[in-house]
A and B are shown apart, each in its own frame.
Chain A
Amino acid sequence: MWWKALSIVLIIYTILAGMLVPLKSGIQRTEPAFAKAGADQTIRFYGYNTFFQKASDTPVRVWLYYDDRHALAASDFQVLNDTILEARFRFPGQLPEKKESVSLNALIDHPVAGAALLPAAVYLSSNPDSTGNTGLDSAWTANPVEQLHVQSGFSFPYQNVIYESIRNTYFHVPMWFVLLFLFTASVWYSIQYLRNPEPENDRRAAAFAETGLLFGALGLPTGMIWAKYTWGQPWSNDIKQLMTAVALLIYLAYFILRRSFDEYEKGARLAAVYNIFSFASLIPLLYIVPRMFASLHPGATGNPAFGSQDLDNTMRAVFYPAIIGWTLFGFWIAQLRIRYQRLYDKALGLD
């Protein structure tokens, strides 16, 4: 069948593109992360996937910036290697805003690797000794952040803490999409069974629910592995973690219900009704409740989970094929399960 071949092609594409496409360059940290107004200080920048030594006509530019209008350019800098750069800053005596301290974002613009940003990289505290000059120092506005370069070529966004594990978007997240599609097919055949009680409809409903549960059972631990290395612990009672666990338990009960009747038709009928109720609870558990509370998952507190912050266009070019590929693969496994059950029922004389 063509769609089985397509599922394999898409999954291979997902694994290759998902693993081989590089991340954009970023700044991991700065040392020291504190500075005092009026000081003359050298700050070391640690880059990720940066090519500071790559030669180019346009120079590398380094800023510590406060907002759109206030940016402090490095007076001088020295490239130690491809990922480490030391920049000198002459901090003005006055902060850009009348405050005890401000947090400055680090920005390095490279003609090849593009612009790399680290929010809240350096805390600049005010200096009571440098009084007198009340006006804003022109150093804050002399070198505005402009004409930034964009990395050419296909690359995934760089995010601190997440780093390369952003690629899990193509493996962990599709599991939940496959689960949703398989459970939708399952409830469809449950409705069909109630309208027309043929064993074939019941077989399909059960097989789709079982393979859907398989993908849920893969989605949960893969999420826990990812959580361990980004949120710090595998299970943090995050609202989405809890709700998916509840949804999987509801579907687990579907199979217990199916097997707890001696009479086949009675069990199949009740299971079909139960399946409709579990599907009706699945949607709020997975897609509505987690958005109403604070969650570590993207998409909490009312935002769509796949806004431009979490998924840019290069990621979409891998993510959507991943969804289609894994879904077709899930239906393939479900089909094998249905075909097995059909043989089994025939052998036992149930059909």
Chain B
Amino acid sequence: MKIYHSRIIITFILLLAISLPAVYAEGNRDFMRETGKINVVVAVILLIFLGIVWYLIRLERKLTKLEHQTKDD
């Protein structure tokens, strides 16, 4: 149950982070191109960070499962 909740929260944060540029783009259609396209770099860094976090979360979930399995034995 606990894991289920944290997954919802993480998914929500990820969605928020991804949709943030889209929200800004709504108000200003050239959000990515203004100020010398600096937001392209921000998007790239954000994506790399989220990708690594996603991988670490996956690894952690595998570890938790393994911990439960070895506890049962």
Task: Give residues in A with beta carbon < 8 Å to B.
Answer: 15, 18-19, 23, 48, 162-165, 167-168, 171-172, 175, 211, 214, 217-218, 221-222, 225-226, 228-230, 333, 336-337, 340, 343-344, 347
B38 adjacent to A164 (CB under 8 Å): yes
| Closest beta carbon of chain B to A177's beta carbon, Å | 13
Residue of B nearest to A49 (CB): B36
Task: Add 6 more A-B contacts to A218-B51, A222-B47, A230-B37 (CB < 8 A).
Answer: A167-B38, A167-B41, A340-B62, A343-B63, A347-B69, A347-B70
Task: Please report the C-alpha to C-alpha distance between residue A167 and residue B56 in the assembled complex, in whole angstroms.
Answer: 26
Task: Please report the C-alpha to C-alpha distance between residue A347 and residue B69 in the assembled complex, in whole angstroms.
Answer: 8
A340 adjacent to B51 (CB under 8 Å): no
Partner of B32, one of A19, A23, A229, A344: A229
Asked whether A168 and B66 contact (CB < 8 A) given A15-B45, A214-B51, A333-B52, the answer is no
Task: Please report the C-alpha to C-alpha distance between residue A230 and residue B66 in the assembled complex, in whole angstroms.
Answer: 45
Q: Is B33 located at the chain interface by the 8 A CB criterion?
A: yes
**24 A-B pairs with C-beta separation under 8 A:** A19-B41, A163-B37, A164-B37, A165-B36, A165-B37, A167-B41, A168-B44, A171-B41, A171-B45, A217-B51, A218-B47, A218-B51, A221-B47, A222-B47, A222-B48, A225-B40, A228-B40, A229-B32, A229-B37, A229-B40, A336-B59, A340-B62, A340-B66, A343-B63
Task: Please report the C-alpha to C-alpha distance between residue A311 and residue B5 in the assembled complex, in whole angstroms.
Answer: 47
Minimum-distance CB pairs A-B, first 10:
A164-B36, A163-B36, A164-B38, A165-B40, A165-B37, A222-B44, A218-B51, A167-B41, A163-B37, A229-B40
Residue of B nearest to A214 (CB): B55
Considering only residues 21-73 of chain B, those with a C-beta below 8 Å from chain A are 32-33, 35-38, 40-41, 43-45, 47-48, 51-52, 55-56, 59, 62-63, 66, 69-70, 73
A164 adjacent to B47 (CB under 8 Å): no
Contacts of B38 in A (CB 8 A): 163-165, 167
Contacts of B36 in A (CB 8 A): 23, 48, 163-165
Residue of B nearest to A161 (CB): B37
Partner of A343, one of B32, B47, B66: B66
Contacts of B47 in A (CB 8 A): 218, 221-222, 225
Task: Please report the C-alpha to C-alpha distance between residue A78 and residue B42 in the assembled complex, in whole angstroms.
Answer: 36
| Closest beta carbon of chain B to A233's beta carbon, Å | 13
Contacts of B40 in A (CB 8 A): 164-165, 168, 225-226, 228-230
Residue of B nearest to A348 (CB): B69
Partner of B35, one of A15, A164, A230, A344: A164
Residue of B nearest to A346 (CB): B70
Partner of A168, one of B41, B51, B62, B63: B41
A347 adjacent to B32 (CB under 8 Å): no
Task: Please report the C-alpha to C-alpha distance between residue A347 and residue B65 in the assembled complex, in whole angstroms.
Answer: 12
Contacts of A228 in B (CB 8 A): 32, 40
Partner of A171, one of B32, B48, B52, B55: B48
Residue of A nearest to B33 (CB): A229
Contacts of B70 in A (CB 8 A): 347
Task: Please report the C-alpha to C-alpha distance between residue A228 and residue B31 in the assembled complex, in whole angstroms.
Answer: 13
B37 adjacent to A162 (CB under 8 Å): yes
Task: Please report the C-alpha to C-alpha distance between residue A167 and residue B39 in the assembled complex, in whole angstroms.
Answer: 11
Contacts of A168 in B (CB 8 A): 40-41, 44
A337 adjacent to B44 (CB under 8 Å): no
B44 adjacent to A172 (CB under 8 Å): yes
Contacts of A211 in B (CB 8 A): 55
